[in-house]
Structure 1
Amino acid sequence: MRNEAGYAPIALVVLAVALLSAMDAGMKVQTALLPVLQAVWLRYAAATLILAPMFLVRPQRLTRQTLRANLVRGVVVAATALSFFYAISVLPLALVVAVAFVAPFFIALLGRLMLGEPIQPRVAIGIQIGFVGVLVIFGGELRVGIDPDQILGFVAAVAGAFGYALVAVMIRKQAASDRAITMVLLQTATAGVVLTVPAVAVWQPPSQTSYMLALAVGVFGAFGQLAIAAGFSRAPAAKLATIEYTSFIWATLFGLVLFSEIPKLETVAGAAIIVAACLIALRPSRVPLAGRATARAPRTADTREEE
């Protein structure tokens, strides 16, 4: 597994978070028009149609191990998507994103358990400070009261966060043998296949707006997943986990523009804490001269760049 010292993995995950946040906003609109199962199926169907030609330009030989690993992850992706998109259909977007901020904890823990990656003290501190920001935001939402019927939405949001973390760590593990486009296409297509029968059972005739939304979220989701796969294949999961906190900034922006959701004072304060946590966790360490020379050495076969 690669462990790049530069900012490329960070930039890729920042881009991914922005694209996936746009997808979340589009899906919140879509789930108001169609059943959640149908909306999620349309998202994966559109993304598969976008990703397939990209894969065929330079196809990878699909071994049994590649198919097995990516198909398993595709099932996890389908369950994760259903959980998260159900949550945003019954709860405010910013609130669901705040709950989903437990994902970095899961990512760091799963990275340690599944990949044996150490959790650097600075990263651990950044995650803890970021979680304080989440608690501040969450407290502001609790202050206005929550409908008991929305409890299931919170459970779904937490489940979605765990599933997202599991997928991210599985991607990093599989990146040793598969390219990003291969992983994303297979998991996306698998999720679509898994959800086909349930989606047909609740199918409603989509409007032109729904088809346009499906295309938009398909584009955002496809390229967002490509960016997240490329990022997590290049650096330890715990190092990149804290970047997930920036999605709240995007959720606040989309919530204000699309849903007239005005951020509370606690929301602004929590976002400031989260940004501080990101800066702490991602502050580059001083690299010895020998380390810099090693980092600039030509890549070997074991450190070749995946597409």
Structure 2
Amino acid sequence: MPPTQRPIYALALRLLAMAAISVMLLLVKLSGEHGIWLPETLFWRQFFPGIALLGWLAARGQIGRLATKRPWIHARRALIGGLGMFLTLGVVQILPLAEATVLGFTAPIFAVLLAVVLLREKVGIWRWTAVLLGLAGVVIIAGPDRAHLPLLGLATGIGAAFMVALISIQLRDLGRTEEPVSVVFWFSAFCTPPFALFMLHTGLPHHDLAGWAMLAGIGATGLMAQLLMTAALRYGSVSSVIVMDYSQFGWATLWGWLFFAHLPPAQTWIGAPAIIAAGLIIAWREQVRGSRAGERSPAA
């Protein structure tokens, strides 16, 4: 039986998830500057949460909560999520935190385009306007200065946003039948072995205390974010909770200023509101369309 919808609770969960993600991305960027290889970061990012969840459930005698009748759906989510995580964590090691975060806000735009291509959904003037507005924001942020936003970073950020759009659909589907702890555990269980193969390149890692603290922090904040996001999508729709995602820009700007003495240039401050506005328009239209469920109406 699908869980009862609790929209305010879902919004609060998503807001907390965004704060956790912002800290995780900060630690990922700091770990890169500390000399820790990204594939190793990805391994520990999945290994720590998986072991922590397994130990917690075992201590409570609740291992049965991990039982699932949809292993292949979890595997598909892990494939998409693993690639998305590689791009999402990779982009913050290429770009400043604020710019990397803003590019992630193009995920709703890709969600609309995927609905047209994959679901043959009819999209009306409002959402097409939002798509064009968001793309214009990306062009403004990219600008002509490749030193500010290199092509590799731009491509990685947009690729990460595309994968996030796919992941949100997967999480919403799994959230109908699976508990958040089950979704998070199986994601770690399926992703950890492939990432472990990359560890063969470096062998047993030798890090100082700061390095291990960063890796542990990445695992802890990543686990927290996954649980909170999955729970938010369990109690609210993607279109209703996604508005909280834009709080990341404030955190990313703050961390960039405090830790890296970086403030976004003028073109980012102009392009970011366009991308955020596009996402809000899409979320609003999804809410309108959702309220008309069961009724026939023109394309949104």
TM class by shorter chain equals 0.7 to 0.9
Which residue of structure 1 aligns with residue 166 of structure 2? 166
CA pair 126-54 structure 1, distance change in 2 beyond 3 A: farther
TM-score, structure 2 normalization: 0.78
Q: Quote the offset at 1:192 in angstroms.
A: 1.5
Deviation digits for residues 67-126 of structure 1 (CA, Å, limit 9, x no counterpart): 221122122222112122222222222222222221122345557888999989888877
Q: Report what 1:49 is aligned to.
A: 51
- Write the distance in 1 (CA, Å) between the matches of 2:177 and 2:208: 41
Q: Is the 8 A contact 1:20 1:224 kept in 2?
A: yes
Q: Is the 8 A contact 1:130 1:242 kept in 2?
A: no
2:7 match: secondary structure: coil
Paired position in structure 1 for 2:78: 74
The one-letter amino acid paired with 1:24 is L
Cα distance change, pair 156–17 in 1 and its aligned pair in 2 (3 A): same
Matched, 1:62 2:67: yes
AA aligned to 1:66 is: R
Deviations 1:248-303 (A, max 9, x none): 22111111111111232343445556666677677798xx9xxxxxxxxxxxxxxx
How far off its partner does 1:199 sit?
2.5
Structure 1 segment 216-295 matched on structure 2, within 5 A: 216-271=217-272
User: CA 1:131/1:231 → structure 2, altered by over 3 Å: closer, same or farther?
Assistant: farther
**C-alpha contact 2:50 2:188 (8 A) present in aligned 1:** yes
Give per-residue Cα distances to partners, 1:190-244, cap 9 Å, x unaligned.
2112210113223442222111011111111001111111112222223333432
Measured after TM superposition, the shift of residue 134 of structure 1 is 5.1
Q: Which amino acid aligns with 1:48?
A: G
Cα distance in 2 for partners of 1:272, 1:231 equals 25
- Structure 1 position 35, deviation (Å): 1.2
Identity over aligned pairs, percent: 21
Match of 1:36 among 28, 33, 38: 38
Q: Secondary structure at the match of 2:178?
A: coil
Gaps of 5+ in 2: 292-300
Alignment-derived partner of residue 302 in structure 1: none
Indicate the SS of the match to 1:233.
Answer: helix
- Contact in 1 for aligned 2:105/2:279 (Cα 8 Å): no
Task: Find the counterpart in structure 1 of residue 192 from structure 2.
Answer: 192
- Provide the aligned C-alpha RMSD in A: 3.4
- Asked if structure 2 preserves the Cα contact closer than 8 Å seen for 1:13 and 1:231, the reply is yes
- Aligned counterparts of 2:119 and 2:244: Cα–Cα separation in 1: 20
Task: State the shift of 1:165 in Å.
Answer: 1.9
**Counterpart-to-counterpart distance in 2, 1:42 and 1:199:** 10
Question: In structure 1, how many angstroms separate the alpha carbons of the residues matched to 2:183 and 2:117?
Answer: 22
CA distance in structure 2 between the aligned counterparts of 1:215 and 1:122, rounded to whole angstroms: 43
The one-letter amino acid of 1:190's match is F
Which residue number corresponds to residue 86 of structure 1?
Answer: 90
Q: Indicate conservation of the 8 Å contact 1:80/1:164, yes or no.
A: yes
Aligned partners of 1:73 and 1:167 also within 8 Å: yes
Aligned residue pair count: 283
